[in-house]
Amino acid sequence: MWDKQSRFTALVEAYSADLHRYAQWLCGDPEVAEDVVQETFTRAWKSLDRLRDQRAAKAWLITTLRRENARRFSRKQLDYAEVPLDLVQAVTTYDTSSDAFALRNALAHLSEDYREPLLLQVIGGFSIDEIAEEMEITTGAATTRLFRARQKMKAVLEGDEEGSTEVTKL
Amino acid sequence: MSCLEIRRAVLADPKRICESAAEHLAECDGCREYVAAVRQANSSIEQAIRLPIPDGLGARILLRRSMVESRKKLAGAFGLAASIVLMFGLWFGQPGPTASAKTAIESYAANLIEVYRTTPLDDERLDAVLNKAGIELVKNVGVISAAKPCIIKDGTAAHLTVAGKNGAVTVIILPEMDVEEAVEVKTASGLIGKLMPCPQGSIAIIAAPNEPIEDVIARFEGAVNWI
């Protein structure tokens, strides 16, 4: 049986990178994202004894991170801003392929309602049912949002600008 | 499943294909090609989403944890010294954490006026307040008619108004304010109550003297989950 510190270290090593990526898309700023991830793990440490199933750890951490991010916004009373273009431009330093840039740009400009289910699925590994539960929407709505988000991204890859502008908030 | 249904399903989740879709794919060249194209696009999306991670992120998280632990150990090593300091503090009238928390609660509730209502607050508002304090309610605690976030001793707390037997009862959940033992509280306006330790932080239940607060205490026992 692992002690608490070993379990915590394993969680950090396994999931901190994905949590940071998820937080970057939520916050739009790598430094703020790191603060949110630090706070997430601080809360995770306090509640670690309640995590019975290690297989649920990633989803549990992402749920904690989403709450931590929401708390940050409510404390600072800031508006929920779109992901700034700075983020999109900053990351071109590691991958300059035009497809990757276009996709990140498209993702940054997706409505929050569409972007977040996609991030939960791709980064968090959530199923559609889990996304619906996490976002407190119906399974049908989660399916539609994912379908439309991916439809837009696919259109961007195929150079279909008209298709890429079809996604609007439900 | 029809071709349209398959294509919609695969766009929603390219990695999970249900049995009936798999049967359709075995017989439909068009859909197989479509699924292959979506999966290829999805692979590009996954790559694009993978933003770079700052160097040493995991190490910094673990360092912060170990610093907190070190401070605790240091505190343990100097426990005796701290006890002496505390004794001196008490000798000179300095309050300990429980006394200090009691004073903070009594001060916060000094001019408290609660309106007795039996209409429950809407869930969205309640969740927002609880979320701000980093807590959730995991069982029914009866009618909560009002809720607001508050700051007590620099910590965020949730101030709830619940319906008691004779009138309104104030419940303040303080995840960031620790107390060592349950203490009675009494406000300048004559309200009375209890401040009690919780698995994380404390909870204060305050009402008019004629209100049996033990009922409310029982309702909140095991009802708070710290997130």
Give the model confidence (pLDDT) of B209-225 as tens digits: 888 899 999 999 888 88
Distance from CA of B80 to the nearest CA of A (A): 26
Give the pLDDT band (50/70/90) at residue A53.
confident
Confidence of residue B100 (pLDDT cuts 50, 70, 90): confident
pLDDT at A146: 94
User: How confident is the model at residue B94, as a pLDDT?
Assistant: 53
The one-letter code for the residue type at B65 is: R
Complex-level ipTM: 0.78
Residue A103 contacts by C-beta under 8 Å, 6 or more apart in sequence? A153, A156, A157, B44, B45, B48, B49
**Beta carbons within 10 angstroms of residue A159's beta carbon:** 10
Q: How far apart are CA B67 and CA B51, in angstroms?
A: 28
Instruction: Give the single-character DSSP code of A20.
Output: H
Cα separation values, A160 from A152, A154, B6, Å = 9, 8, 22
The mean pLDDT value for B132-136 works out to: 86
The answer to whether residue A89 scores a pLDDT higher than 60 is no
The CA distance from B132 to the nearest CA of chain A, in Å, is: 6
Rounded (10°) angle between helices A128-135 and A139-157: 110
Q: Is the predicted pLDDT of residue B53 greater than 70, yes or no?
A: yes
Q: Tally the residues of chain A.
A: 170
Beta pairing partners, B183 = B195
Exposed (0-12), middle (13-18) or buried (19+): which is A160, by Cβ within 10 Å?
middle
Residue-level length of chain B: 227
pLDDT at A91 over 70: no
Give chain B's mean pLDDT: 85
Distances (CA, A) of A37 to A25, A74, A109, B191: 12, 17, 23, 42
Contact B188, B140 (CB under 8 A): no
Q: Any CB–CB contact under 8 A between B42 and chain A? A: yes
What confidence category does residue A17 fall into, taking pLDDT thresholds of 50, 70 and 90? Answer: very high
Would you call B131 and A119 a contact, using CB atoms and an 8 Å cutoff? no
Shortest Cα–Cα distance, A104 to chain B (Å):
6
**Under 8 Å between Cβ of B178 and B85:** no
Mean pLDDT value across residues A99-124? 88
The answer to whether B211 and B164 have CB atoms below 8 angstroms apart is: yes
CA distance A152 to A73: 28
CB A45 within 8 A of CB A8: yes
- Per-residue pLDDT for B180 more than 80? yes
pLDDT band at B91 (very low <50, low <70, confident <90, very high): low
pLDDT of residue A57: 92
Report the residue of chain A nearest B132, measured CA to CA: A71
**pLDDT over threshold 70, residue A4:** yes
Looking at per-residue pLDDT, the higher value among A59 and B189 belongs to: A59
Place of tokens 């079809």: A166
pLDDT band for position A139 (cuts 50, 70, 90): very high
Task: Name residues whose C-beta falls within 8 Å of residue B206's C-beta, 6 or more positions apart in sequence.
Answer: B105, B109, B112, B169, B170, B171, B172, B185, B187, B191, B192, B193, B213
Kindly state the percentage of chain B with pLDDT values over 70. 88
A125-139, B53-67, B69-83, B154-168 — which one is most confidently predicted on average? A125-139
Burial class (CB in 10 A: 0-12, 13-18, 19+), B124: exposed
Structure confidence at residue B76 as a pLDDT band (50, 70, 90):
low
**Residue A5 DSSP SS3:** helix
Residue of B33, B49, B71 to mutate for A, most A C-beta atoms under 10 A? B49
Does the pLDDT value for residue A167 go beyond 50?
A: no
